Amino acid sequence: MKKVGIMAYGITPFTKEDQKIESILLKSAKNLFKNNPQINRNDIDAVLVSTNNNSKYLSPVLSEMIDIQPKIAHSIESLCNSGTNSIVSAYSYIASGLADMVLISGAERYDSPGQILEWDNSRGEYKHPIFWASIFTKSYKREFSISEEDLAIVPVKNHKQAKENPNAISNKIFSIQDVVNSKKLTEDIRLLDCSRPCTGSASIILASEATIRKNTDEPVWIAGIGQKTTSAGFTKNMSLSSMESTKLAGNAALKMANRTITDVDVAEIHDAFSVCEPMALESLGFSNLGNGINTIKELHETNNFKINPRGGLLGSGHPLGATGIAQTIEITQQIQSKANNRQVDNVNIGLVHNMSAAATSSTVLVLEK
Amino acid sequence: MKKVGIMAYGITPFTKEDQKIESILLKSAKNLFKNNPQINRNDIDAVLVSTNNNSKYLSPVLSEMIDIQPKIAHSIESLCNSGTNSIVSAYSYIASGLADMVLISGAERYDSPGQILEWDNSRGEYKHPIFWASIFTKSYKREFSISEEDLAIVPVKNHKQAKENPNAISNKIFSIQDVVNSKKLTEDIRLLDCSRPCTGSASIILASEATIRKNTDEPVWIAGIGQKTTSAGFTKNMSLSSMESTKLAGNAALKMANRTITDVDVAEIHDAFSVCEPMALESLGFSNLGNGINTIKELHETNNFKINPRGGLLGSGHPLGATGIAQTIEITQQIQSKANNRQVDNVNIGLVHNMSAAATSSTVLVLEK
C-alpha cells in the first residue's frame, strides 16, 4: 500500500461561542494555510468535512471560502468518531491514487445535534450519552471494585494536562475532592466526569509520500488503521465494562503497523466520560483488565503526559466532528516534538483512539515518525 | 489501480410514503440480500450510507439491522450527488486495500432537508432549487433560441420512459401541451419541468475483482471516475447555460476509462429540471453546444431509451441520497441486459452523471462489461 502521511494542520481554541458552522470550519483551515505558506492550495484534490451539524453541502462551501475547486467534496458523519472516519477516508483516496492531497476539516457547534441518540430505543427514555456512561460506570466500578474517588483521578489528571493546552476549553485544575463534590447528574456520574460539548474546529492535510517530502521536513506517517462497528445500541453489546470495538480496532491498527502496544510512546484516548479512559486503556492493552485506574494514577503521580497529553476530551472539550482530528494533530505534534509543555519524552510512535456511542464503533490510528 | 466492480444491488419503489429513514434504508438492503443469497454478508467490510437526512449514526444502525459488524461505517452527504460520492468513496476503500466488499445504501424521505439551499446568500431569498433552474432555463432558452415547447420534450420523453420502470414515482405519459399547460411556478419553470422529491432507497455492493468473480457471472466494472466541485453558489459560476463541473468530471472519467463519449451506449443524466438534460448532454459532449434538444427530440421520435432509460429524475422521482445509486443500478442493469422494456440495444459501456446544487459539483462514472 502507498505511504500516506500528515503534511499540515490547523486548529482553533475550543470554546462555548455561538458561531455559524461555516465560520468555525473556515477558521482552522485558514490557520492551516497561514502556518504552511509553502502549500499550493490548488493542489488539494479532495475536501472532506467532518461534522454532525445539519447544514448541507459544507465541503463545497468551505472549498469556495478558501478559493479552491477540488475534485472530491462531501461531508462525513459518524457521531463522535466522524473525525477519524474522515481521516481514514482521505487515506484511502490517496492510497488508491484517486487523490494526492486531501484537506480534512472537522467542526462542531456547542449545540451539536449529535449529542442525543434519538435512534436507540434500547435506551428507553434515556437517550443522552450520560446514561450509557452511567451504566458503564456502575458496571466498571462493581466489576473491579473501583470507588468514586479512584475514578476521579481521570478528570484530575486530564484537566491538569489541559492547562498546558492553549486550545482547551478548561484551564482549571481540580482535586479528587472537587470531582466527587461536583454536581451529581446520575447515580454514578458527576459533572466533572463529563466532557463538554463545545464549539471548535480542526483541519489536517494528508498527502502521498512524494508530495509530503516536497512540502515538509517533519513528516508523520499513518502506519496503522483499525476500525470496527459492533452495533448501534446496547442490545448487541456483550460487555458493559470493556470495549469490544476498541479492542478489535486497536489490534487491527497495531497489526497493520507491525507494532505492539508496548511500542506506543503517547496516546490520545476517547475519554468522553471518566470511565472511558481506564476501559479504553484496558481494551487497547495498555493496562491489564481492571488495572486502568492504577496506570492512570501512576502517570499522574509521575507527571507523565503519555495518555491524553492535550487533556483528553474531559479537559479539551468535545466538539464532536473536530475531536478525532484534534487528537490526530496532538499526536502529530508530539511526534514532531512540538507539544511545548505537554511534550512527552522520546516520542516515535503514537496512537489515536476515537469512538462513538457507547463504544459501539471505534477507530484506532498508529502514527510514526 | 485494482479493478473494482459492482457485485449486487437492491432498490425500492420511489413513492410519497411517510416512512422512517431507518425503514427506508433497510428495504433496499434487504432487497439486495434477497436477490443475492450467494453473498455472505459477514464479508462486508464497510457500510456507507448516502443521505441528506438529519438522523445520525445511520450506518451502524443499518449494520445492526442487517446483522453485520463492518470495520468502516459512516454517512456521506453532498446534497443531490451524495450517492455517487459514496460509490467513489467505496471504490477508493477497495482500490486502496482497506476493504474488499462495501455496501452503499442511499435513502431519503420526501421531505428531505437537502432541498433548500440555506447557505447560499448569493441567491437572496430564492433558496429553493427551482430558482437556479429558472435562471438556467431563461439563460439557456435565450442563448440558443429554445422555446418552452422545445424544452418540454425532456419531461415528455422521460415520463414515457419512466412508464417502463416499475420503481418510478410517475406512471403517466404527458404531451408537449400537458407540459406547457402545467402549473406555472416561476416565469420559466412549470410543474412538469421539475423532478419530485420522494421517498426511496437504493443499495449496491462494490467489491474487488477476485470477490466479484467468485460471486457473480455478470460483473460490471467501474472503469472511469471523474469528480469536480467548482463552487457552492452562483457567485463563482462562469456560465449559466453550460455546466463546467460536469464537463471537467466527464472528461476525467472518460480519460480514466480510456474512452471517448462516442463509445458510450447508454447514460443516466441528472435531469433535476428539464433544462438540465440538454445542458448536461452538451457539457458531456453527447451533443454540440445548443443542440441538446435536437438530440433529445431524435431519441424520443425513434423511441431510443439511450438517455435516462429509467425515466431520469423527472420520471423516476428524486430521493436525493438514493438518486446516484439508483442511476448506477440502472446502468448496471442495462449492461447486464436486464432492463426489460427499458433495454437499450447492444450496451457495453454506460455513463452515470450525478450533480448537486446548480451543477456546482458533478460526479461522472463510466461502467463497462
pLDDT tens digits along B255-264? 999 999 999 9
At A339 the pLDDT is: 98
* Residue B241 DSSP one-character state: S
Calculate mean pLDDT across residues B143-153. 97
Interface test with A, best of B208, B229, B238 (most A CBs within 10 A): B229
Name the minimum distance, in Å, from the CA of B368 to any CA of chain A: 19
Cell of A81: 468518531
- Residue B118 predicted with pLDDT over 90: no
- On whether both B79 and B213 belong to a single domain, the answer is yes
For the stretch B159-186, pLDDT in tens is 999 999 999 999 999 999 999 999 999 9
A191 vs chain B: nearest CA distance in angstroms?
25
Residue A268, classed as helix, strand or coil, is strand
Q: What is the tens place of the pLDDT at every residue in A347-362?
A: 999 999 999 988 999 9
| pLDDT at residue A209 greater than cutoff 90 | yes
pLDDT the model gives residue B122: 60
Q: What is the pLDDT of residue B130?
A: 87
Q: Which chain B residue is nearest to residue A231, measuring alpha carbons?
A: B64
CB A364 within 8 A of CB A249: yes
Q: Tell me whether residues A228 and B71 touch, CB distance under 8 A.
A: yes
Q: Which of A54, A71, A227 sits opposite B54 (nearest CB)?
A: A54
Tell me the C-alpha distance between A294 and A274, whole Å. 14
Write out chain B residues lying below 8 Å of A58, CB-based.
Answer: 119
Minimum-distance CB partner of B57 among A74, A98, A232: A232
Which pLDDT tens digit goes with each residue over A1-32? 789 999 999 999 999 999 999 999 999 999 99
What is the predicted pLDDT for the residue at A119? 64
Min Cα–Cα distance to chain B from A247, Å: 12
Which pLDDT tens digit goes with each residue over A120-177? Answer: 666 566 668 888 899 899 999 999 999 999 999 999 999 999 999 999 999 999 999 9
Q: Which single residue is written with the C-alpha cell 457495453?
A: B348
Q: Is pLDDT of B115 > 90? A: no
* Amino acid B145: pLDDT: 97
Alpha helices in A145-271 (DSSP H): 148-151, 153-162, 176-181, 209-215, 244-257
A224 pLDDT band (50/70/90 cuts)? very high
Residues of chain A in contact with residue B251, where contact means CB-CB under 8 angstroms, are none
Q: Which runs of consecutive H residues, i.e. helices, occur in A12-74? A: 21-35, 58-65
Interchain pair A95, B91: CB under 8 A: no
C-alpha cell at A91: 487515506
Q: Residue A21: closest CA among chain B residues belongs to which residue?
A: B119
Give A-chain residues touching B51 at CB under 8 angstroms: none
Reported ipTM: the value is 0.96
The pLDDT value recorded for residue B124 is 61
Cβ–Cβ below 8 Å for B98 and A91: yes
What's the pLDDT at B196?
Answer: 94
A96, A117, A362, best to mutate vs chain B, most B CBs in 10 Å: A96
pLDDT tens for A235-270 read 666 677 779 999 999 999 999 999 999 999 999 999
Hey, what's the cell of B144? Answer: 440558443
User: Which whole number is the average pLDDT over B110-121?
Assistant: 74
Asked if A93 lies within 8 A of B98 by C-beta distance, the reply is no
Q: How far is B140 from chain A (nearest CA, A)?
A: 24
Question: What is the reported pLDDT for B123?
Answer: 59
Q: For residue B304, what are the contacts with CB-CB under 8 A and spacing of at least 6?
A: B298, B344
- How many angstroms away from the CA of B364 is the closest CA of chain A? 11
d(CA B91, CA B101): 10
Kindly indicate the confidence band of residue B119, based on its pLDDT and cuts at 50, 70 and 90: low
pLDDT at position A120: 62
Cβ separation B78–A82 shorter than 8 A? no
3 state DSSP class of A213: helix
B95–A91: do the CB atoms touch at under 8 Å? no
Q: Give the three-class secondary structure for A29.
A: helix
Task: Kindly list the residues from chain B whose CB atom is less than 8 angstroms away from the CB atom of residue A57.
Answer: 77-79, 117, 119, 232, 356-357
Residue type, B18: D
**Which of B58, B4, B9, B57 is closest to B32 using CA atoms?**
B9
Q: Do A65 and A178 lie in a common domain?
A: no
Give pairs for B336-341: CB < 8 Å, separation 24+: B336/B218, B336/B220, B339/B309, B340/B164, B341/B164
CB atoms within 10 A of CB A91: 24
Chain A hits for B357, Cβ within 8 Å: 57, 60
Query: Residue A188, exposed/middle/buried by CB under 10 A (0-12, 13-18, 19+)?
Result: buried
Beta strands in chain A, from DSSP E residues, in sequence order: 4-11, 46-50, 72-77, 101-108, 200-208, 220-229, 266-268, 349-356, 361-368
pLDDT (0 to 100) of residue A99? 98
Same domain, B244 and B126: yes
CA B333 – CA B221 distance, rounded (Å) = 12
Which chain B positions have a beta carbon within 8 Å of A252's beta carbon? 71
Is the domain of A296 the same as that of A216?
no
Q: Are A60 and A73 in contact (CB under 8 A)?
A: yes
Domain boundary among B220, B254, B278: B220
Nearest chain A Cα to B82, which residue? A74
| Closest chain B C-alpha to A69 CA, distance in angstroms | 5
Of A98, A227, A233, the CB nearest to B225: A98
Closest residue in A to B237 (Cα) is A64
Of B55, B76, B252, the CB nearest to A119: B55
- What mean pLDDT, rounded, does chain B reach? 95
B232 and A57 in contact by Cβ < 8 A? yes
Closest by CA to A329, choosing from A37, A9, A78, is A9
The per-residue pLDDT for A125 is 60
Q: Are A39 and A212 in contact (CB under 8 A)?
A: no
pLDDT score at B120 = 62
Record: contact A61-B236, CB cut-off 8 A: no
Residues of chain A contacting B250 with CB distance shorter than 8 Å: none
Nearest chain B residue (CA) to A234: B64
State whether B165 and B267 are in the same domain: yes
B228: phi then psi, degrees, rounded to nearest 5 = -155, 135
What is the pLDDT, as a whole number, of residue A162?
98
Quick one: closest CA in A to B93, which residue?
A: A92
Give the residue numbers spanning the domain of A33. Answer: 4-113+198-220
Choose the mutation target among B44, B45, B55, B56 for the interface with A, i.e. most A CBs under 10 Å: B56
**Is residue A329 within 8 Å of residue A187, measured between CB atoms?**
no
pLDDT at A275 over 80: yes
Q: What is the pLDDT of residues B316-367, one digit of tens each?
A: 999 999 999 999 999 999 999 999 999 999 999 999 999 998 899 999 999 9
Question: How many independent structural domains does chain A possess?
Answer: 2
Least confident of A98-107, A122-131, A172-181, A271-280: A122-131
Residues B145, B249, single domain; the answer is yes
Cα of B113 to nearest chain A Cα, Å = 8
CB nearest A54 (choices: B59, B113, B249): B113
Among B201, B204, B211, B284, which residue's Cα sits nearest to residue B244? B284
Q: Is the same domain home to B58 and B138?
A: no
CB spacing of A56 vs B361 below 8 angstroms: no
* CB-based contact B78 A98, cutoff 8 Å: no
In terms of pLDDT, which residue wins out, B17 or A119? B17
- B113 vs A225: CB contact, 8 Å cut-off? no
> How far A189 CA sits from the closest chain B CA (Å)?
25
CA atoms of B312 and A251, how far apart (whole Å): 46
Are B252 and A74 within 8 A, CB to CB?
no
For chain A, the farthest-separated pair of C-alpha atoms sits apart, in whole angstroms, at 57
Say yes or no to pLDDT of B290 above 70.
yes
DSSP B233: S
Q: Please give the share of chain A, as a percent, with pLDDT higher than 90.
A: 89
Q: Do A245 and A104 belong together in one domain?
A: no
A310 or A129, which is more confident?
A310
Same domain, yes or no: A190 and A206: no
Q: Note whether A122 and A29 are same-domain residues.
A: no
Q: Which residue of B has its CA nearest to A22?
A: B119
Looking at the fold, whether B21 and B156 belong to one and the same domain comes out as no
pLDDT-based confidence at residue B129 (cuts at 50, 70, 90)? confident
pLDDT in tens, B29-81: 999 999 999 999 999 999 999 999 999 999 999 999 999 999 999 999 999 99
Query: Are B143 and B20 found together in one domain?
Result: no
Give me the residues paired with residue B353 across strands: B364
CATH number, position A75: 3.40.47.10
Work out the end-to-end distance of chain A between its first and last CA atoms, rounded to an integer number of angstroms: 18
- Which of A51, A52, A74 to mutate against chain B (most B CBs within 10 Å)? A74
